[in-house]
Structures are given as structure tokens and as C-alpha cells.
Chains A and B, each alone.
Chain A
Amino acid sequence: MFVYFLRKLIVILPTFFGVTLVAFVFIRTLPGDPVMLMAGERGMSPERHAELMAEMGFDKPIIVQYGLYLKQLAGGDFGTSIITKQPVLKEFATLFPATIELSICAMIIAIFFGLPAGMIAATRRGSVFDHTVMTSALTGYSMPIFWWGLLLIIFFSGILGWTPVSGRVSLLYYFETVTGFMLIDSFLSGQEGAFISAMSHLILPSIVLGTIPLAVIARQTRSAMLEVLSEDYVRTARAKGLGPMRVIGVHALRNAMIPVITVIGLQVGVLFAGAILTETIFSWPGIGKWMVDSIFRRDYPAVQGGLLLIAAIVMIVNLVVDLLYGLINPQIRHTD
């Protein structure tokens, strides 16, 4: 297992350096130099400009600059936002819980509905239920989620008036940030209605963000289940006279879960991409909205740092999924 881990790590390391190189190159491909970018609209005198360029090492050869950048990253410095003058890492850490909270709720919805739907569809292959699930799943998979979010707002906020349009919690409530997760913080605050308010703010964005993972999980579960159900050992289990619940629930499900877990893990990248759109629509103060805002505000150090942090997170999660996969399925560990 340790060798397997090392092998995975060796593959991922060059990619990680590649990602830092992309982030490094990004800010240099923009028109103007980094100092001018930081100066923004104000501009500055040529002397001050040269001074700053030298101070920040931009007059050195590009390789040395990259080395300096890596050193800076190793020290936990991901740049400083031009707009807020805050360290990018700090801003990221403040907003990240909002995105995690949203993503976790989205995944809970996706798994809670996707797994059973796929399983039942597989066991009743060709039935009306199967066709309905598969058609809905393909529709969900084809959904422009930014439009889907707008539709839900029109219906649930506009017509029914059930849910708020944007934000994380009603402005009526104020409480200290303890965990950064609004559901937990509002609950801990003990204020009446705060938790309900946080919940009602969370529900629509979670549905929107969970739609594509839900569709993917339902489709993947169904096809994995169908494959397993045609295996000899399932037939043996049936021949032994085991009830359908036991055959499907115990024998088939465990093996069908292997590809499904991988697919669930691979949704992390999808969730980030989806968070960009979902958070923009619902004004959800997370990483996705922050990235979009930073791009529009031309806060390029923030974009650079955010890009790198998000890619690193996606890579780490994928590595963990790979390791889990190796843990569940020894076959993978021992073959290449």
C-alpha cells in the first residue's frame, strides 16, 4: 500500500509543479507588468516603478523569478489582493467554508437521490421507472445550471415566496463565526429562527449545484449495478435461494460501489466549476463568486492564488480518492 501511495505521489508531483508554472505564467501573460497591475488605475512614476520591480525581483531572469515564486509559495505566501490588500490565502480561507458547506449539501442531495434511483432503475431494467430515471438523469446532465438556478428562483422565491433569493442567512441574525459553516454557527448561536433561515438560504443553491453530480451518480450506479447483476456470483447467490434484498443489498451493491465511489470523488472538479455559476446566481459568498469577482475587478494576484489553491485542492482530493480506491479494490493496487 505504501509503494502504491508513493507511486501515485510521484505521478502527481510534476503535475503540481506544472500547475504552479501555469499560475506563474498566468500573471506574466497579461498585458502590462505585475507592478503596473498592482498599481492599477493610479499609475506610478518610472523611478518608483523600477524600484518596485527590483524590490520584487521582476528584473531578475525568468527562471530565478520562478524559483522565487516557488520559495514564496513554500512559505505559505500566495500573493496579496490588490483590492483588499489582504493575503490571498487568508481571503481564500475565510470564504472556503461557504463553498464547502454548499458542496457538501449538494453532494448529500446527489448521493441521497442518485444512488437509490440508479439501483432501482438497474433492478427494474426496461421498466417505466427505469426510463423515467434515465431520461431525467440525461436531462439533469444536459442542464445549463445557471438557468436552472434562475428558474428555481422564479418559482420558489418569486411565485411561492418560500425561499430567499440570495446570501447565506437573513440579515436579521448576527452571530460570531465559529466554524465558518452557517448551518452549524446559526445552530450554536441559539437564536430562534437563525438555523431555519440558514437552511432556507442553502436549499436552492444545493439543489442547483447537486443536479449534475446527481445525474452522473444515477447513471453510473445503474450501469455498475447492471454489470454486477450479470456476474456469476450474483446468479449463484440467487440460486442459493437468497432473497432479492440480500442479493442486491449485500452481494451486488458492494462491488457495484467501487466505480461509483470513484465517480463521486471525481465530482470535486465538477463541484468547483458548478460553484462558480451557482454562487454567482445566488450571491453566495464563496470561492466561486470570489474568483469571478476577482477576474472582473482585475485583481490578478487573487486570481493567480485562487487558481493555484483550487487546483491543489482538486489534485489532493483526487489523490485521496485514488488511494481509497486502492484500499477498497486490491486489484488496482497490484496492477499498474
Chain B
Amino acid sequence: MTEIALQEVVDNRPTGFRAVLAEFWSYFSENRGAVAGLVFFVGVILVAVFADFIAPHGPNHQYRDALLQPPFWQDGGSIKFPLGTDAIGRDMLSRLIHGAQYSLFIGCIVVSISLVAGIIFGLLAGFFRGRIDTFIMRIMDIVLAFPSLLLALVLVAILGPSLINAMIAIAIVQQPHYVRLTRAAVMTEMTKDYVTAARVIGIRSLRLMFVTILPNCMAPLIVQAALSFSSAILDAAALGFLGMGAQPPTPEWGTMLAEAREFILRAWWVVTFPGVAILTTVLAINMMGDGLRDALDPKLKRS
């Protein structure tokens, strides 16, 4: 009886990185929206990388004879400026294309800073518990007590308005989420047998934390990274819109909207297109994030 029962437990599924990847893809690709989001996101990356080759004009080149020219399909528009020009004659399409660089850059930097800081604090809190844990978590509670955009705004007011400072502020505001997730995951992992076994062998704390435990906590962190990538883009655009992020003439999408505000009733295109760019990029990333969550969340996985 016992032999049969034992045999049934043996897992014959292929292992290794490629198998994990294949399994992940089979779950991820079930969600059509997620795949669409991924395709769009890759498209945005390509546009950003090859911006200099794709953009028909320089992002800051002013065509003084073509101020506020409408898109090509409207009367007075020309194919030379497919999406029209802004108030000082800069090509909208070229600015939007270069704006993709800024948005992706913002997302990458913010996620990297907040992810790394969040993982370190979360590991420390979850691993050592006690006073270190209380101290770190109380600080995170304080950060979370403020509405995120307000705190970011005030931090930028202290640091001075610029894109770099806006990114630092957004990273500070976002990292408590990573700390909480890492801590919770670490605390669950700590109770498992493999951690006890590793301790018995005499593995040092640092190695135990980063090499043994951390890789098993990655799934929720990856999902959070995707979600905070999109909210970083949104928040940076909001700060840019309020004049507290990237400064003109930077072709950052939020900053472009701030510059376009006074023309909303005269030239719809200067307002509409930067917003469409923000919305579609953020939406694509969120759709991807949903797919990631479905594929990585063990609770929803049907095994």
C-alpha cells in the first residue's frame, strides 16, 4: 500500500529553467489581454530604443511657420507633421516617440530603486524579526500614512523640481509595498523545512537570506514590480503635469500635457495625444501585470 502511495507522489514533470519558463508561458498565454499587453509593451520599448531613427523630426526642433498645425487628416494639416505641431511648432509625433524613452527610463529606475531597497528592508525585517522588524515596519507605516502623490509632491518640493528628484520621490513612496511583500513572503518561507535544514548545515545568515530564501519569494515581487512600473509612469506624468517633474522642453508626456493645457479648447491634438500615449502604455503594462499574477500566483494555479 505504502509503496503505491509513494509512487503516486513522485513528480515526473520536467524541471529546470526551461521547463519553468514553458510552464509560465502556458499560464501567461492563456490570458489574451496579457499577451496583447506584452506585444504593445515590446513595441513601446522598440520605439524608445530606435527613437532617433523613427522620429521624423528632432523632438525640440521648432518649425516657426507651422505653429499649432492640426494632424494630417484635418484641414490645414500636412503629412510632414502626421500628428500636428504644438504651440511653438514642434512635431507632436517626434516628441511622443522621444517621450517613450523617458517613461520607460522612469519606470526602470523607480522600480529598480524601490525593489532593491524594499527587498533589503523586507528581508531584514522578516529574517531577524524583533526590534529591527518593528522599527522598519513602523517607518513603512509612516510612509504609507500619506497619500502617495502628496508625499512625492512634498519630497520634490524639498529636493527641487527635476525628473531625477521626481523619480527618487516616487521610489521612496513606492518601496513600502515591496518591504511588506518581501517580509510576508520571508516569514512564510522561514517556517519551512528547507530553511531549518540550511540552518542546521550552518549556512551563514547573509547567504541564507539572499541565496536560499529570496528566490522563493520572487513571485509576488515580480507582479508588484509590473504594477509599480505602470504607477511610476503615471505618478511621474502627474508630477510633470503639476510642474514638479521633468521640466520643459523635455518631451516627457506629463510635461507635454502641462504645456498644452492652455490650448485645450483651441487645439485638441496637443492635449489628446500625450494622454493617449500615457494611457495605452500604462494599460498595456497593467494587462501584462494581470497575466503575470495569474501565471505566478500559486493560489490560482490549477495543478
By a beta-carbon cutoff of 8 Å, the part of chain A in contact with chain B is: 11, 14-16, 18-19, 21-22, 26, 29-30, 135, 138-139, 141-144, 146-148, 150-151, 153-154, 157-158, 269-270, 272-273, 276-277, 280, 291-292, 295-296, 303, 307, 310-311, 314-315
* Interface pair B153/A15, CB less than 8 Å apart: no
List which B83-123 residues lie within 8 A (CB) of chain A: none
Partner of A139, one of B275, B278, B283: B283
| Residues of B contacting A14 in the complex (Cβ-Cβ under 8 angstroms) | 138, 141
Q: Would you call B146 an interface residue if the criterion is a C-beta within 8 Å of the partner chain's C-beta atoms?
A: yes
A18 to B145, CA, bound (A): 10
Taken residue by residue from 8 to 19, chain B's Cβ proximity to chain A (1 for < 8 Å, 0 otherwise) reads as 000000000000
* Interface pair A150/B287, CB less than 8 Å apart: no
Given contacts A146-B257, A310-B150, 5 further A-B contacts (CB under 8 A): A144-B241, A146-B238, A269-B146, A276-B153, A277-B149
List which B180-196 residues lie within 8 A (CB) of chain A: none
Partner of A292, one of B138, B234, B242, B271: B242
A246 CB to nearest B CB, Å: 29
Q: Chain A interface: which of B22-30, B55-63, B216-224, B261-269? A: B261-269
| Residues of A contacting B268 in the complex (Cβ-Cβ under 8 angstroms) | 154
Chain A residue at smallest Cβ distance from B134: A14
Contact A295/B282 with A154-B268, A307-B146 known, Cβ cut-off 8 Å: no
Q: Would you call B158 an interface residue if the criterion is a C-beta within 8 Å of the partner chain's C-beta atoms?
A: yes
* Interface pair B271/A150, CB less than 8 Å apart: yes
Chain A residue at smallest Cβ distance from B159: A29
By a beta-carbon cutoff of 8 Å, the part of chain B in contact with chain A is: 33, 138-139, 141-142, 145-150, 153-154, 157-158, 230, 234, 237-238, 241-244, 254, 257, 261, 264-265, 268, 271-272, 274-275, 278-279, 282-283, 286-287, 290
Chain B residue at smallest Cβ distance from A287: B150
Partner of B158, one of A30, A158, A310, A311: A30
A61 CB to nearest B CB, Å: 23
Q: Which of B148, B243, B264 has its CB near the most chain A CB atoms (within 10 A)?
A: B264
**B contacts with A: majority SS:** helix
A21 to B153, CA, bound (A): 18
| Residues of B contacting A303 in the complex (Cβ-Cβ under 8 angstroms) | 154, 157
**A contacts with B: majority SS:** helix
A138 to B288, CA, bound (A): 11
A26 to B159, CA, bound (A): 11
Chain A residue at smallest Cβ distance from B282: A142
Chain A residue at smallest Cβ distance from B146: A311
* Interface pair A144/B142, CB less than 8 Å apart: no
Partner of B278, one of A21, A147, A315: A147
Chain A residue at smallest Cβ distance from B148: A273
A139 to B283, CA, bound (A): 6
| Residues of B contacting A311 in the complex (Cβ-Cβ under 8 angstroms) | 145-146
| Residues of A contacting B237 in the complex (Cβ-Cβ under 8 angstroms) | 144, 146
Chain A residue at smallest Cβ distance from B258: A146
Chain B residue at smallest Cβ distance from A138: B286
* Interface pair A18/B142, CB less than 8 Å apart: yes
| Residues of A contacting B148 in the complex (Cβ-Cβ under 8 angstroms) | 269, 273
